[in-house]
A and B are shown apart, each in its own frame.
Chain A
Amino acid sequence: MARTPAELVGAQPGPPFRITFDGRPVTALPGQSVAAALWGAGILAWRTTRVGGRPRGAFCGIGQCYDCLATINGEPNRRACLVPARPGDAITTQEGHGRAALGV
C-alpha cells in the first residue's frame, strides 16, 4: 500500500486550507511549501522561461536552482520550494521575468 511522506513520519498536521493557482482552488497543509502544495494538486509547472517560453516548476526543491520561481500574491520571482503556503495565497503562473508591466 502506498504511504505518503506525512504517514511515514507520523505527521499530524493542522487543518488544511485553501490557496489558489491561477484562480483555481488548491488545498495546502500547514508547513507545506507552495511547491509542495502545487505538486500535491498535480501541478508541475508554474513559470515559463524568458526566452523560449518553456514550462518550469520545482527542480532541486531546496532553494538552489531558482527554477521554481513563481508569482506569489503579485510578487514575482519567489522560490516556491522555500515559501511556506499561507491561507488565501494567490499563486499565478509567472511569464518570463514576471515584470512585463515595468517595461518602457
Chain B
Amino acid sequence: MLTRNSADVIVVGAGVVGAACAYYAARSGLRVAVLDRGSVAGGTTGAGEGNLLVSDKEPGPELELSKVSAELWRKLSEELPPDIEYEPKGGLVVASDEAGMAALRDFASGQRRAGVTAQEVPADRLRELEPHLAAGLAGGFHYPQDAQVMPALAAAHLLRAGGDRVRLRLGEEVTGLLTGASGEIRGVRTAVGELHAPYVVNAAGTWGGEIARLAHVALPVRPRRGFVLVTEPLPRVVRRKVYAADYVADVASGSAALQTSAVVEGTPAGPVLIGASRERVGYDRTLSPEALRRLAAQATALFPVLAGIRAMRTYIGFRPYLPDHLPAIGPDPRVPGLLHACGHEGAGIGLAPATGLAIARSLTGGEPPLDIAPFRPERFSPAA
C-alpha cells in the first residue's frame, strides 16, 4: 500500500473552514495536506450565502468568535484578491411594529455592551438607507460591521494563498484514521492509500460526526436544511443585508419545523439572494415549494419592487449544527493529534477565519485569538 509522509498536518475538508485552517497553518510555517472527497467548496460552503454577520448574534461565545472573524475577514480582504467579493456593506434589521422595535432595542443594547456597533434608525430615515424598502415599517437598526463575501471563491483563494505549503488532494475520501500504540493520530487512510501526519483537523462540516466516529469518539453534528432563492441579475437594488427582526429568533431556535425569515442582499454578479429557510429533515434534497413561497413572500414584503422580478433558480444546503448551536473547535483530549473545526451551522463563512487561526495556534502552541473553551469538542460526551 502506498504511504506518503509529507505533511505536518492533514485537514479533512476543503470547505471554507478547512481552507481557513490550511491558510493560517501554512502561514505559521506548517506543511498542510488538504483532502476532500469532492471539490473545493463542494459541500455546504458552495450552497449558502456569504453573510458575515455580527448583527444576528447575542452576547456570548459565538459573538466573540464572529467579532474576531470580522476583523480577520477585513485583513483577508487586503491579502486575498478582490475576486472574493468582500463587501463591508453593513446590515439593516427592520421591525414592522413597535413591539418588534422594542425587542430590537433590547437585543442591540446587549450587543453594544459586547462591543457591537448598532445604530437605531427611525422609521422616517429607513429609506435613506434603503430606498426600495416597504412603507409602514416601524424602524430598524443599522449594523455597520456586517459584511459579505462570495464563499466558494473565498475558500478557493484561501487555499491558493497558502502557497507551496498547502497540498490539495481532491476526490480523495478519508475512510479511516491511523493511530499509534497509545491511540495517538498518525495519519489518515483513503481509497488511494495512507497519508501520514501527526495531526488531523476534522473540517468535514456537516459530516464532521463521521470523521469523529472513525476516531471512535462522539461529535453529534447534524444537518439543518436551507434553501436560497436567486433572482435575475439586477443593478444595485438592495444596498446592505436587510432582514426582519424575526430572523434572530429563527436562528437561535432549536425547532425542527420549517422556519423562514428572509435575509435579502445584492451580489456583485447582479442577482439578489433571498435566504434562507431552516428545517431539520435529514439530508432530504426534495424541493420545498412551501419554503420557497415563504421566502419570496417575506422578501417582497420587505422590498415590494422584487414582486416584479423573476426568481431564476434556487439551491439547497445542509448546515452543520451541534445541539448547543456552537461549533467544535480545538484539540480533542480523547484522541491526541485530532483537532476539530466543524459544526458552524449557519455562520461558518463568517466564523471561518477565527476558527482557522485558533486551529493554527493550537498546532504551533501559540496563544489562541480568543478563549476557545466554550467550543470544546468533547463537551457532548457524558464523561466530559
Contact = CB atoms under 8 A, between A and B. Distances in A.
Contact of A104 (B236, B309, B310): B236
A99 interface: yes
B234 A102 contact: yes
Nearest to A66: B312
Contacts of B233: 50, 96-97, 99
A102 B232 contact: no
Give the interface size class of chain A.
Answer: under 10
A77 interface: yes
A102 B305 contact: yes
Contacts of B310: 77
Given A50-B270, A77-B310, A100 B235 contact: yes
Contacts, number: 32
A103 B238 CA distance: 9
B239 interface: yes
B326 interface: no
A96 to B, nearest CB: 8
B42 interface: no
Contact of A103 (B130, B232, B235): B235
A38 B232 CA distance: 24
Contacts of A100: 235
A103 B237 contact: yes
Interface in A83-104: 96-97, 99-100, 102-104
Contacts of A97: 232-235, 270
Residue with the greatest number of chain A CB neighbours at <10 A, chosen from B130, B131, B235, B310: B235
Contacts of A96: 233
A99 B237 CA distance: 10
Nearest to A97: B233
Interface in A55-104: 77, 96-97, 99-100, 102-104
Interface residues of B, number: 14
A12 B175 CA distance: 67
Given A50-B270, A97-B270, A77 B232 contact: yes
B132 interface: yes
Contacts of B237: 99, 102-104
Residue with the greatest number of chain A CB neighbours at <10 A, chosen from B130, B233, B236, B305: B233
Contacts of A103: 235-237
Interface string B289-332: 00000000000000001000110000000000000000000000
A51 to B, nearest CB: 10
Nearest to B233: A97
Contacts of B130: 104
Interface string B232-276: 111111010000000000000000000000000000001000000
A104 B270 contact: no
A27 B131 CA distance: 42
B239 A104 contact: yes
Contacts of A104: 130-132, 235-237, 239
Contacts of B234: 97, 99, 102
Contacts of B131: 104
A45 to B, nearest CB: 19
Nearest to A75: B308
Given A99-B309, A104-B131, 13 more contacts: A50-B270, A77-B232, A97-B232, A97-B270, A99-B232, A99-B233, A99-B234, A99-B235, A102-B235, A102-B305, A103-B235, A104-B235, A104-B239
26 contacts: A50-B233, A50-B270, A77-B232, A77-B310, A96-B233, A97-B232, A97-B233, A97-B234, A97-B235, A97-B270, A99-B232, A99-B233, A99-B234, A99-B235, A99-B237, A99-B309, A102-B132, A102-B235, A102-B237, A102-B305, A103-B237, A104-B131, A104-B235, A104-B236, A104-B237, A104-B239
Interface of B: 130-132, 232-237, 239, 270, 305, 309-310
Interface of A: 50, 77, 96-97, 99-100, 102-104
